[in-house]
């Protein structure tokens, strides 16, 4: 299928636009909330606790979220979630103006926003799986990631200057508005849901029975387990960066808010470049080979980032981390293709629980290490986590990656 057909699918273009606009606000908010929390408490570990608040909803509610995603209207669920998150974020500037803003307000805001994300993300991923033909799914995921990272570049880059020259509350306002715009775009999507054309009556929601059915599906398809574990381990890298970047920029590199914003934007730049090149690299090297090699290259960049002594080297290594972490798009496409439509939400959410446990430990552990032993040691340990993920990838995809040369296919087939 020609890639140009992807942008003729109106539901996908609306979804893509909503994601990009929302990412602008989120990029600004992360800079603002991290910095405000650091200033309110004066402790580097406070940013780690902010990230803990972000991880808890996935740990507590992911299994239930998967059932709701599989049983309810995914479009309405995602749009409503965006609307509620907008209201939550916009309450923070009101508290600030009234002089009552405290650190726990930011922790609560982060918890509620992440709770919404626990529903929104599997709902939209499952929805895209239904509106995009299978031959275009990888490209759709690549374009979505590119749009999100472009939004993050603009949001994070501008966010640093907003913090330096104006009130950080403007970043919160922008993010609240971006959630409202995203809700409008997602809510306007129309597509044919296979469940609506089925002659069978949709069964009523039975949380625990539906959860058990999802677990039974995973047991019957054990090939999904290792790729999801690798995805979870790879995604601990941006979470480690989120936890340590403010302290690393402020206390180690001493580059201030503007430097912090540039480092954070570097990740998005690398992700955009990686996304643009990803389909060509998959075509040239083959999926399995890329799924192995990119993990070890990512691990080396995480280690080198922790050894940075200047803003330039920190930005360069962050760009390369963002470049290599794009391999998660290939892993996600792989598991999407291997999962039946009616179990997309439950399978994702089941492994999101694992991911949340892992990330929660990362936040607490890395926050402690960053405060007591310095961010450099924490980044070194994170690089070892990715090395372990690379070893698991060798176990799962090594025979396909290096057992024989990947077959060449034409550009039209790609």
pLDDT tens digits, one per residue of 141-198: 888 878 877 777 777 666 666 666 666 777 788 778 888 988 999 888 876 665 554 4
Average pLDDT over residues 384-409: 78
The token duo for 384 is 């070892």
- Percent residues over pLDDT 70 in the chain: 88
Run of H or E including 127? helix 103-131
Placement of tokens 């698991």 in the chain: 392
Length of the chain: 414
**Distance of alpha carbon 344 from alpha carbon 214, whole angstroms:** 9
Nearest-5° Cα angle at 112, 111 to 113: 95
343 touches 217 (CB < 8 A): yes
Maximum Cα interatomic distance, the chain, rounded to a whole number of Å: 66
pLDDT at residue 128, rounded to an integer: 83
Where does the pLDDT of residue 2 fall: very low under 50, low under 70, confident under 90, or very high at 90 and above?
Answer: low
**Distance of alpha carbon 387 from alpha carbon 301, whole angstroms:** 11
Helix (H, G, I), strand (E, B) or coil at 167: coil
Q: Is it the case that residue 333 has pLDDT exceeding 80?
A: yes
pLDDT at residue 394, rounded to an integer: 92
Of 68-72, 74-78, 229-233, the range with the lowest mean pLDDT is: 68-72
Q: Is it the case that residue 413 has pLDDT exceeding 50?
A: no
Q: Per CATH, the architecture of 3-192+216-402 is what?
A: Up-down Bundle (1.20)
* Angle, helix 103-131 to helix 344-372, in steps of 10 degrees: 150
pLDDT at residue 195, rounded to an integer: 55
pLDDT digits (tens, 9 = 90+) for 184-209: 998 888 766 655 544 444 556 676 78
Where does the pLDDT of residue 3 fall: very low under 50, low under 70, confident under 90, or very high at 90 and above?
Answer: low
- Percent residues over pLDDT 90 in the chain: 12
Placement of tokens 């330039």 in the chain: 312
Q: Is it the case that residue 406 has pLDDT exceeding 70?
A: no
pLDDT digits (tens, 9 = 90+) for 300-314: 999 999 888 888 999
* Angle, helix 287-306 to helix 236-247, in steps of 10 degrees: 20
pLDDT at residue 405, rounded to an integer: 47
172 touches 179 (CB < 8 A): no
Q: What is the mean pLDDT of the chain?
A: 81
DSSP string covering 209-257: HHHHHHHHHHHH-GGGHHHHHHHHHHTHHHHHHHHHHHHIIIIIS--HH
pTM: 0.68
For the chain, the structural domain boundaries read 3-192+216-402
315 touches 245 (CB < 8 A): no
Of 163-177, 198-212, 345-359, 364-378, the range with the lowest mean pLDDT is: 198-212
pLDDT digits (tens, 9 = 90+) for 247-262: 788 778 888 777 877 8
325 touches 234 (CB < 8 A): yes
Q: Is it the case that residue 378 has pLDDT exceeding 70?
A: yes
Give me Rg for the CA atoms of the chain: 21
Q: Is it the case that residue 44 has pLDDT exceeding 70?
A: no
**Distance of alpha carbon 128 from alpha carbon 115, whole angstroms:** 21
89 touches 175 (CB < 8 A): yes
Q: How many CB atoms lie within 10 A of CB 188?
A: 14
82 touches 182 (CB < 8 A): yes
Greater confidence (355 vs 93) lies with 93
Plot region of 199 (φ>0 → left; ψ -120 to 50 → alpha; else → beta): alpha
Placement of tokens 């950080």 in the chain: 168
| All residues at 6 or more sequence positions from 200 whose CB lies less than 8 Å from its CB, including other chains | none
The token duo for 29 is 């908010």
Q: Is it the case that residue 39 has pLDDT exceeding 80?
A: no
Nearest to 87 by CA among 105, 113, 61, 124: 113
**Distance of alpha carbon 327 from alpha carbon 103, whole angstroms:** 35
Distances (CA, A) of 335 to 187, 236, 329, 352: 26, 19, 10, 13
Distances (CA, A) of 73 to 81, 82, 143, 221, 341: 12, 15, 24, 26, 14
How far is Cα of residue 128 from the mean position of the Cα atoms in its chain?
16
pLDDT at residue 205, rounded to an integer: 63
148 touches 23 (CB < 8 A): yes
Distances (CA, A) of 296 to 6, 103, 174: 32, 38, 37
């Amino acid at each position: 299928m020609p890639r140009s057909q992807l942008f003729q699918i109106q539901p996908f273009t609306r979804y893509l636009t909503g994601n990009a606009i929302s990412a602008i606000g989120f990029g600004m908010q992360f800079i603002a909330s991290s910095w405000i929390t650091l200033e309110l408490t004066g402790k580097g570990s406070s940013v780690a606790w902010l990230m803990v608040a972000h991880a808890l909803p996935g740990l507590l509610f992911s299994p239930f979220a998967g059932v709701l995603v599989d049983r309810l209207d995914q479009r309405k669920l995602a749009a409503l979630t965006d609307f509620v998150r907008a209201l939550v974020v916009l309450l923070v500037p009101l508290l600030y103006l009234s002089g009552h803003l405290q650190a726990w307000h930011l922790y609560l805001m982060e918890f509620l926003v992440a709770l919404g994300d626990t529903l929104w993300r599997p709902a939209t991923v499952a929805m895209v799986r239904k509106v995009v033909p299978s031959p275009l799914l990888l490209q759709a995921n690549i374009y979505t990631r590119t749009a999100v990272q472009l939004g993050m570049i603009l949001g994070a880059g501008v966010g640093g200057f907003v913090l330096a020259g104006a009130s950080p509350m403007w970043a919160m306002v922008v993010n609240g508005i971006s959630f409202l715009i995203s809700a409008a775009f997602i809510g306007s999507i129309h597509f044919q849901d296979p469940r609506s054309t089925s002659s069978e009556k949709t069964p009523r929601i039975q949380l625990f029975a539906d959860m058990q059915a999802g677990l039974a599906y995973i047991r019957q398809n054990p090939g999904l387990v290792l790729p999801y574990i690798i995805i979870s381990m790879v995604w601990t890298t941006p979470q480690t960066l989120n936890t340590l970047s403010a302290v690393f920029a402020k206390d180690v590199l001493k580059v201030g808010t503007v430097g912090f914003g540039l480092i954070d934007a570097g990740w998005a730049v690398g992700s955009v470049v990686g996304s643009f090149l990803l389909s060509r690299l998959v075509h040239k090297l083959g999926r399995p080979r890329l799924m192995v090699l990119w993990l070890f290259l990512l691990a080396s960049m995480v280690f080198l980032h922790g050894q940075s002594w200047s803003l330039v080297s920190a930005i360069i290594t962050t760009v390369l981390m963002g470049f290599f972490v794009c391999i998660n798009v290939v892993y996600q496409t792989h598991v999407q293709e291997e999962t039946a439509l009616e179990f997309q939400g439950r399978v994702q959410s089941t492994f999101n629980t694992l991911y949340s446990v892992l990330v929660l430990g990362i936040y607490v552990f890395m926050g402690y290490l960053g405060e007591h032993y310095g961010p450099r040691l924490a980044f070194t340990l994170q690089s070892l986590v990715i090395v372990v993920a690379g070893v698991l990838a060798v176990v799962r995809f090594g025979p396909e990656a290096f057992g024989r040369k990947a077959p060449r296919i034409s550009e039209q087939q790609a």
